[in-house]
Structures are given as structure tokens and as C-alpha cells.
Chain A
Amino acid sequence: MAKIIGIDLGTSNSAAAVMIGGKPTLIPAAEGTTIGGKAFPSVVAFTKDGELLVGEPARRQAVTNPIGTIMAAKRKMGTNHIFKVNGKEYKPQQISAFILQKIKRDAEAFIGEKIEKAVITVPAYFDDNQRQATKDAGQIAGLEVVRIINEPTAASLAFGLDKTKQDMKIMVFDFGGGTLDVTIMEMGGGVFEVMSTSGDTQLGGTDMDKVVIDHIVETFRKNTGIDLSKDNAAMVRVREAAERAKIELSSVMETEVNLPFVSYDQTSGPKNLEMKLTRSKLEELINPIVERCRPSVTKALEDAKLSPSDVSKIVLVGGPTRIPLVRRFVASVMGKEPESGVDPMEAVALGAGIQAGIIAGDVTSDIVLLDVTPLTLGVEVLGGLREPLIERNTTIPTAKSKIFTTAADNQTAVTIHIVQGERPMASDNASLGSFNLSGIPPAPRGIPQIEVKFDLDANGILNVTAKDLGTQKEAKITITASTKLSKEEIEKLKKDAELYAEQDKKKKEEIDLKNEAESYIYTTEKLINQDLKDKITQEQGIKVTNAVKELKDVLEKGPTEIKSKLDALKTIVNEISTELYKNVTPPQGSGQQADAGSQKNTGDGQNTQTTGTAQ
């Protein structure tokens, strides 16, 4: 099965992706990751000696070799424009072919096999001529272009919108380095149809960089009277610092631009540039640029004869859409949150890779269509806690087992309650079913070993078996609906987990503490009533009994009370044991201290948390 690659042949940057192991993967440029991530600049150059440069090396010499450097050839695709370099003439599709050739080489090096076919993306507004020119470029580069797809369609594929199986209107807001493209599409039966396109070819992230740089330079000039814009070396640093600040302010509220020795003043000596930049200042600076996007969105809606509420999904493409203000702007204009989860810089290439995979048979083949379990599957244990067995996002089929034990002395049956969800309390998750395993021979708590096995098959059917390892007695249940929750239900359960994370953590800690206290009471009582009955004084006995009673009395109260009484009991028990063993060599494997201290882990790797409640 020959691989087909997907190519995002962009105006400023290009990238490619391929399906690997069922997932679209970006193909890294041979010269390594640069500012543009794994993408590389769509720049072609010819040196004086006639050497051809493509990508990052071509960009590096662009300033000093403008005559031999070709940028944004995509804008001339489908026209009769001729690029003249060193006395030679090139059509736009020939220039694009140089970029595609580089992608082909990089892809072959990355995948390790010959690449002969590709899917290439084009803007939705490209006419037949421009599309044909793109196909020709592929052919010149030695690639059979099996399909040309629209960039917004590719982005929608990357976000998995085709899988929703619902008819809907989608708006793709593609805000790149130098251009804005707004596309509204209608999707029905997995087919995307463009309803309208709009945009601005002179608006993009570079405009934002410029205002930030200007702000830094201007502030420095006001403070020191020095104009950095005349100083090449200083401007390189300012530009990089501005870029970094812009990226940082997408996640933090304040950052510092700190450029020591940025300039030297003959009279007053070295000058340092130190300034704080807040997100609100950045937003104030770039807001006029973001506002310039508004007419394009309005026009796209008007042309499609739609109101914002008719659009059900919004897809963001391009680096600048990572900026919170841009996201907020789109959300406020459209009245709903854009999709998230895919890097907007990579979405088009990844979508092209998915389309290529579908054509190559990589996607539809059931080999790669392995499902994952969307939520964690687990059982309820002592105190109503949930013990996970199969974590969410585990690829199925899969099987996992854990050993559990009883919670009370002479407990002859356990209830296995199966739950699905991300929250630590069993009752906060979805209950999938429960069953009993009975006939366990009477034994002290913690002694029986009950193996619970979850076997989740490729169809999402869950078989749960509980087996008493002592008697080999077993009971089981089959749950057919383990993966059948609707997408909304799954999302709700995940959201709940995030929403209640703090609260749940506190509750779990409280229950863990209570379990520990109960377990400590049990072992202490066993200790003084049986094992140490004749070895401790009456006074000691009373002291321990009182402390146990005090702890029992507060079990239903708050964690602070439990903690203090538990600690008090521990101190008394420790004092007694220390005294008892003062002059005795400790017998091997007595383990009482460990038993008294914790019931959670016996140290042999087996989980001995207790299941269910006594029947």
C-alpha cells in the first residue's frame, strides 16, 4: 500500500502530513524545526552561481538577494506571470514545483519509501485555472495529484467534523501570517460545499508583530532618547523578544521584555531595555488589527445569506488564532466558541494528510480503525471510592485485572459495582451494572484474594469476572453498553471531572483518611484483644481503648477531628509497641506495625483495597 501525502501549499509557509499508524503526522522539514514549527517558508531562491534554494535557506538570504528570491508565488498561480531570474524564466507552477519537490524529498526521507502521489490544498476561492496550475506544479515535481481539496475542508477534516454525520454550516476563520480567509461551508453526508468566501490579502500576524515591535521601540525612545530602529543588531533582539512576548501572553497575563546592553550611549554608558508587557496592553495594541477582520466575517455571512446563529461549527486556522483576543473576537461575533484540540498552524496539512489517507485506504481500513475507550472503567471500593481498571483513551481490545479483598471479618460475599467516568467517587460516575460473588470462606478482613478482571473487546463489550483465588469460585457479567454513551454524555462526564476536580480530590482524601482510621481501629483492637492481650498492662489497655473509642466517636465528623484522634491513637500504640520491643529482637516478618499503619498496600504489589460492603 503506497503512502499518499497531504500537502498544505501555503502563501507564506508550507507543510505536509502523512497517515502513520492511523494518525495524521506532520512531516518535519529536513533542516529542522524553525520559527514556523515543522512548516517551512514557501520561498524559492537562485544564487548567483545558479544554485537552487528552497525553504529556510532561501528565506535567510532573501533580504540581500531580492532579485533572485521568489516569495508568495502562490498569489500568481493560474496567471501568465513570469518570474525572471538570472536570465531564466519561470512560470508560477514551476516555482511551486520546487517547493513540492522539497516536500517530496523530505517526506521520502521521513517515511522511508518512495512517494509518488499527493493531495494538495488550495484556497476555497481558487478558480479552475488556479487549481489546474496547482495540479501541474505537482506533476512537474513528480507527484501525481490525486486530489485538490479546499483548505477550509482540510481544516474541518483535521477537527473531525466529517465524523459528526450531521448536516451543518461551518465557518473556517483562517488568519495567517499575511492573509485572512473566511469561508462558510455546508456539510451534508460528509460532503463539503463552499457557500461563500471573503477575506483580506493584506492582513495577518506580521501586522501584529509590527505594532508590538513599534511599541517596544517607542517606549525605549521615550525613556532614553535612543532610537533602536536604526540599530540592526538591537532590532534583531527586539523582534525576537516581541515575538516571544506575544506567544507568552497567550498563556500568561504578564511577561517581561528584558534586553540587557541593548544599546550604548557614549556619555551615559550601556543601556538596558527592561519593560513589562501585560496581556491587556498587547490586546490594546493589536485590537485595531483584529477589528479589521470584522468586515470579512460579516461579508462571508451576508454572501451565504446566513446569520451567525445558523453556523454550528467554527474552525480556527493559522498562528494568530492562538491569541486569546482573536479567539474571543470570533466567539463574540459568532455567538459561540470555536472548535479546539488541533494546532491551528497544522490543521490544513493534517487534514490534507487525512484526505490522502482516505484515498490510500489507510483510514477506511479496519486495521487502523482501532477504537479507544472514551472514559475510565473501574469498580466501587470501600468508602464509595472508584478504583480505575481501564483508563480512558486505552486502545481496545484490552484486558486488565486487579486483586481486591474483603472489608469486614467473615465476609462471605462481595458486590462488584462497575462504573464509568473520571471522578474519584463511584456515585459521581455512570453505573454500568453490578453483581455479587458469594461463597467466600469466612476469614478475617484483608485475607481473601479476589481477582477482578475487565476484558473489553474490539466492539466495546465489557466482560467483568470476579474470582476468589482461594476457592477458584467465580462470577461474571457482560456489559454491552460500555462505549455506547453519546458524544454529549461523554463530554459531560469529562467536563464534570474537570469542574469538580478540586472538590473530588478533597472528598477522596477525606474518605481515604476515614478508611485508614477504620483500618487502624480494626488492627489496634485485634492487637490488644488477641495478640498482645497478656503482654500489656491494664493501664495501657484502658488508654488504648479510650483512644480507640474517641476515634470511633469522630468517624462521622470532619477530617480535622479524625486526623487528630487518629494521630493520638497512633502515638499511644507506638509508645506501647516501643516499650514491648525495647529489649526484644523483633521477630522476622511480624509486620504488625505495617498492618496497623496502612491497609492500602502490602508492599508485594498487590492492591488490597477492599471491595464493596459485607452482604
Chain B
Amino acid sequence: MSTNATMEKPSVDELKAHLAKEQETVVSYEKKLQYLLADFENLKKRTELDVQNGVNSIIDEIMLKFLSIYDDFVRAKEALAKQKVNTQGLAAILKNMNSFLTEYGVTPIAALGEIFDPKLHESISVKEEPALDNDTITAEIRKGYILQNRVIRPSLVEISKTTKTDLVGENNG
């Protein structure tokens, strides 16, 4: 009988141990819940940022495609001017395109005569020019653009070097 009674009625120590274990479980669940809530909050913030970045990258993509068509118009105007064709109409179209670009915050990067800056420009050729400072931009091969602080297209440029020795290198593994 006494054995049965012990089995049915656990001692205070056992109860305490049991309680402690349960409390531990509660604490671990609370901690997990906190992490979960924090994760969720962070995810919400991250999602907002991702949406913004997603929108920006689509705008950049569209603008880049537009810029390549814009470039074609500029080339057309230049080519036709060489042939002494009236380009007034084309000039008007380009004017409209320019205001469109300005409206959306697309600004051209200054290049010609500037000192080369790899954050804005990409150099694709080099010219020996002792009279100029090293890394002066001597030709703009393709115009670069900034859209709201983002370089969406770096300027492609030719830069100057004072001597030929600056042009030899062997550091590509």
C-alpha cells in the first residue's frame, strides 16, 4: 500500500524537480518565440528593402535599355549632320528625351578633361600624352549616367599616361 501511495503522490522534491523542468521548457519556448518574432520583424524590414531594391533594379534596367536607344538617336543625328541632312526634327526628339531623363533623375557623368575615377568611369584605352596629367580623360567613348546616386552605366573612356612605362604589367595570376 505504501509503495502505491508513493507512486500516486510524488514527493515535494519530485514535484519541484518537475516544475523546474517545466519552467525550463517555458523559458526555452519564450526564447524561441522571441527569436521567431524578431526574425519576423527583421524579415518584414528586409522585405520592404527588397521590394525597394527590386523596383530600383527594374528602373535601372529600363533606363539602360532606353539609354541605348537614346544613344542611337544621338548617333543618327551626328551621322545625318555629316551628310548635311536637316536634323532639326531629330534634335527636337533628343530634347524631349533629355527632359524625360532629367525628370527621372538620370544625369550624365562628367568625363572629358576630368581625372579618371573608377567609381564613375571605365577605361578601355590609353594614350601617351606627356602634356597632360596622368589619368586625364582624353576621349569619351560612351557616355555614363547616374540615377539617384547609383552609377547605372559608367562612362567608357580613353585616358592619358605621361609615359609608356606605365602601361606594362604582369600581375594577373
**Residue B27 interfacial (CB < 8 Å):** no
**Residue B173 interfacial (CB < 8 Å):** yes
> Distance in Å from the Cβ of B128 to the closest Cβ of chain A?
12
The stretch that binds A, out of B4-12, B18-26, B98-106, B117-125, is B117-125
Return chain A residues, CB-CB under 8 Å to B150.
32
Across the interface, do B171 and A64 meet the contact criterion of CB distance under 8 Å?
no
**A-contact 0/1 string along B140-173, CB 8 Å cutoff:** 0110000000110010101101000011111111
Q: Counting chain A CB atoms within 10 Å of each CB, which of B42, B43, B134, B173 scores highest?
A: B173
Across the interface, do A233 and B142 meet the contact criterion of CB distance under 8 Å?
yes
**Residue B16 interfacial (CB < 8 Å):** no
Across the interface, do B119 and A57 meet the contact criterion of CB distance under 8 Å?
yes
Cα of A247 to Cα of B53 in the assembled complex, Å? 23
**A-contact 0/1 string along B69-80, CB 8 Å cutoff:** 000100110111
> Distance in Å from the Cβ of B34 to the closest Cβ of chain A?
10
- Chain A, 234-291, CB within 8 A of any chain B CB: 236, 260-261, 264, 269-270
Number of interface residues of A (CB under 8 A): 46
Cα of A1 to Cα of B34 in the assembled complex, Å? 12
Cα of A64 to Cα of B167 in the assembled complex, Å? 7
> Distance in Å from the Cβ of A419 to the closest Cβ of chain B?
32
Contact partner of B169 (CB less than 8 A), chosen from A20, A33, A68, is: A68
Cα of A28 to Cα of B56 in the assembled complex, Å? 14
Return chain B residues, CB-CB under 8 Å to A505.
none
Across the interface, do B75 and A72 meet the contact criterion of CB distance under 8 Å?
no
Contact partner of A70 (CB less than 8 A), chosen from B36, B121, B171, is: B171
**Residue A60 interfacial (CB < 8 Å):** yes
Across the interface, do B172 and A69 meet the contact criterion of CB distance under 8 Å?
yes
Across the interface, do B171 and A74 meet the contact criterion of CB distance under 8 Å?
no
Across the interface, do A60 and B118 meet the contact criterion of CB distance under 8 Å?
yes
Across the interface, do B35 and A236 meet the contact criterion of CB distance under 8 Å?
no
Cα of A233 to Cα of B156 in the assembled complex, Å? 9
Cα of A20 to Cα of B44 in the assembled complex, Å? 11
Across the interface, do B126 and A64 meet the contact criterion of CB distance under 8 Å?
yes
Across the interface, do B135 and A48 meet the contact criterion of CB distance under 8 Å?
yes
Cα of A236 to Cα of B158 in the assembled complex, Å? 13
The B contact surface, by secondary structure, is mixed
Q: Counting chain B CB atoms within 10 Å of each CB, which of A64, A69, A70, A264 scores highest?
A: A64
- Chain A, 49-73, CB within 8 A of any chain B CB: 53, 57-61, 63-73
Across the interface, do A269 and B46 meet the contact criterion of CB distance under 8 Å?
no
> Distance in Å from the Cβ of B119 to the closest Cβ of chain A?
5
Contact partner of B123 (CB less than 8 A), chosen from A60, A261, A368, is: A60
Cα of A58 to Cα of B42 in the assembled complex, Å? 33
**Residue A578 interfacial (CB < 8 Å):** no
The stretch that binds B, out of A75-83, A119-127, A374-382, A452-460, is A75-83
Cα of A70 to Cα of B173 in the assembled complex, Å? 7
Across the interface, do B79 and A270 meet the contact criterion of CB distance under 8 Å?
yes
**Residue A367 interfacial (CB < 8 Å):** yes
Cα of A58 to Cα of B117 in the assembled complex, Å? 10
**Residue A335 interfacial (CB < 8 Å):** no
- Which residues in B have some Cβ–Cβ distance to A below 8 Å? 32, 35-36, 39, 42-43, 46, 53, 57, 60, 72, 75-76, 78-80, 82-83, 116, 118-119, 121-126, 134-135, 141-142, 150-151, 154, 156, 158-159, 161, 166-173
> Would you list the 6 A-B pairs with minimal beta carbon distance, nearest first?
A66-B169, A67-B169, A261-B75, A270-B79, A60-B122, A57-B118
Q: Give 16 pairs: A residue, B residue, CB < 8 Å, sorted on A.
A: A1-B35, A31-B151, A33-B60, A53-B118, A57-B118, A60-B123, A64-B126, A66-B167, A66-B171, A67-B168, A67-B171, A71-B171, A92-B173, A261-B79, A270-B76, A366-B32
